[in-house]
Structure 1
Amino acid sequence: MSAHKPKLLVVEDDDGLQAQLKWAYEDFEVVPARDRASALVALRSEMPDVVTLDLGLPPDPDGTAEGFAVLDAIMALKPDTKVIVASGHGARESALEAIQRGAYDFYQKPVDIDTLGLIVSRAYRLHQIEAENRRLSEKVDEDKTVLGRMITAAPEMMKVARTIERVANADVSVMLLGASGTGKELLARGVHESSARREGAFVAINCAAIPENLLESELFGHEKGAFTGAVKTTEGKIEMANGGTLFLDEVGDIPLPLQVKLLRFLQERTIERIGGRKAIAVDTRIVCATHQNLEAMIAAGTFREDLFYRLAEIVVRIPTLSERAGDAVLLAKHFLARFASEMNPQVKGFAPDALAAIDSWNWPGNVRELENRVKRAVIMAESKLVCADDLDLGESNGETETMLNLKAAREQADRRMIRQALARSEGNISQTAKLLGISRPTLYDLLKQYDMQA
Structure 2
Amino acid sequence: MSARTVLFIAEPQSVTAIFPTLQEAGLQAGLADNITGALGFIRKSKPCLVFCRPSLQGFDAAVLLEHAGTTEGFPPVVVFSATGSAEEATRFLELGARDFWLEPLAWEKIKLVLPPKEPDPEPEPEPESRPKPASQAANASGMAGKFQIIGRHEAVLRVLSLAKRVAKSKATVLISGESGTGKEMFARYLHHNSDRADKAFVAINCAALPEHLLESELFGHEKGAFTGAINRKLGKFELANGGTILLDEITEMDLGLQAKLLRVLQESEFDRVGGVETVKVDVRVLATTNRDIEGSVRDNSFRQDLFYRLNVIPLKLPALGERGDDVLLLAEYFTNKFSATYGLGQLAFTEDAKQWLTGYEWPGNVRELQNLMERAVLLAGEGPIQPRHFLMGDDQWFPDDLAGVDADQRAVSEAPPPASAAEALSVMPIHEMEKRLILKSLEETTGNRTRAAELLGISVRTLRNKLNEYKKQGLDV
TM-score by length of 1: 0.55
The aligned runs of 1:62-141 (5 Å cut-off) are none
In structure 2, relative to structure 1, the CA distance for the partners of 1:249 and 1:385 (3 Å cut) is same
Q: Which runs of 4+ in 1 moved over 4 A?
A: 139-142
Residue 259 (structure 2) aligns with? 260
In structure 2, relative to structure 1, the CA distance for the partners of 1:141 and 1:155 (3 Å cut) is closer
Question: Over aligned residue pairs, what C-alpha RMSD do you find?
Answer: 2.7
Q: Which amino acid aligns with 1:143?
A: A
Q: Which amino acid aligns with 1:213?
A: H
Shift of 1:170: 2.6
Residue 337 (structure 2) aligns with? 338
Contact 1:354–1:387 under 8 Å retained in 2:
yes
Residue 229 (structure 1) aligns with? 228
Cα deviation code 1:179-202 (max 9, x no counterpart) = 111000010111112221112111
In structure 2, relative to structure 1, the CA distance for the partners of 1:362 and 1:162 (3 Å cut) is same
Contact 1:198–1:244 under 8 Å retained in 2:
yes
Deviates more, 1:157-166 or 1:231-240: 231-240
Shift of 1:225: 2.1
Deviates more, 1:143-152 or 1:303-312: 143-152
CA–CA distance in structure 2, aligned partners of residues 251 and 146 of structure 1 = 30
Residue 321 (structure 2) aligns with? 322
Shift of 1:147: 4.1
Residue 437 (structure 1) aligns with? none
Contact 2:202–2:239 under 8 Å retained in 1:
yes
Shift of 1:382: 4.2
Shift of 1:143: 3.2
Q: Which of 143, 149, 160 in structure 1 is aligned with 2:137?
A: 143
Contact 1:250–1:289 under 8 Å retained in 2:
yes
Aligned: 1:359 with 2:355: no
- Matched residue SS, 1:204: strand
CA–CA distance in structure 1, aligned partners of residues 326 and 135 of structure 2 = 13
Residue 348 (structure 1) aligns with? 347
Cα deviation code 1:295-352 (max 9, x no counterpart) = 1111111111011111111111111111111111111111111112223515623222
Cα deviation code 1:391-450 (max 9, x no counterpart) = 123499xxxxxxxxxxxxxxxxxxxxxxxxxxxxxxxxxxxxxxxxxxxxxxxxxxxxxx
Residue 185 (structure 1) aligns with? 184
Q: Which amino acid aligns with 1:378?
A: V
Cα deviation code 1:26-51 (max 9, x no counterpart) = xxxxxxxxxxxxxxxxxxxxxxxxxx
CA–CA distance in structure 1, aligned partners of residues 298 and 383 of structure 2 = 54
Q: Which amino acid aligns with 2:261?
A: L
CA–CA distance in structure 2, aligned partners of residues 190 and 241 of structure 1 = 17
Deviates more, 1:246-255 or 1:346-355: 346-355
Q: How many residues align?
A: 264
Aligned: 1:152 with 2:151: yes
Contact 2:251–2:289 under 8 Å retained in 1:
yes
Residue 246 (structure 1) aligns with? 245
Residue 286 (structure 2) aligns with? 287
In structure 2, relative to structure 1, the CA distance for the partners of 1:346 and 1:167 (3 Å cut) is closer
Residue 161 (structure 2) aligns with? 162
Structure 2 residue runs of 5 or longer lacking an equivalent are 1-123, 143-147, 396-477
Residue 431 (structure 1) aligns with? none
Cα deviation code 1:195-233 (max 9, x no counterpart) = 211121111111112233311111111122222222222
Q: Which amino acid aligns with 1:356?
A: Q
In structure 2, relative to structure 1, the CA distance for the partners of 1:311 and 1:141 (3 Å cut) is closer
Q: Which amino acid aligns with 2:193?
A: S
CA–CA distance in structure 1, aligned partners of residues 272 and 379 of structure 2 = 49
Q: Which amino acid aligns with 2:319?
A: T
CA–CA distance in structure 2, aligned partners of residues 142 and 203 of structure 1 = 29
CA–CA distance in structure 2, aligned partners of residues 369 and 146 of structure 1 = 25
Q: Which amino acid aligns with 1:335?
A: F
- Matched residue SS, 1:151: coil
Contact 1:220–1:274 under 8 Å retained in 2:
yes
Deviates more, 1:260-269 or 1:378-387: 378-387
CA–CA distance in structure 2, aligned partners of residues 248 and 191 of structure 1 = 14
Larger Cα Rg: Structure 1 or Structure 2? 1
Residue 78 (structure 1) aligns with? none
Shift of 1:146: 5.0
Q: Which amino acid aligns with 2:377?
A: V
Contact 2:220–2:233 under 8 Å retained in 1:
yes
Contact 1:347–1:385 under 8 Å retained in 2:
no
TM-score by length of 2: 0.52
Contact 2:164–2:193 under 8 Å retained in 1:
yes
Instruction: Among all aligned residue pairs of Structure 1 and Structure 2, give the percentage whose two residues are the same amino acid.
Output: 43
CA–CA distance in structure 1, aligned partners of residues 355 and 227 of structure 2 = 57
Contact 2:334–2:370 under 8 Å retained in 1:
yes
CA–CA distance in structure 1, aligned partners of residues 255 and 135 of structure 2 = 46
Residue 196 (structure 2) aligns with? 197
- Matched residue SS, 2:207: coil
- Matched residue SS, 1:350: coil
Aligned: 1:176 with 2:175: yes
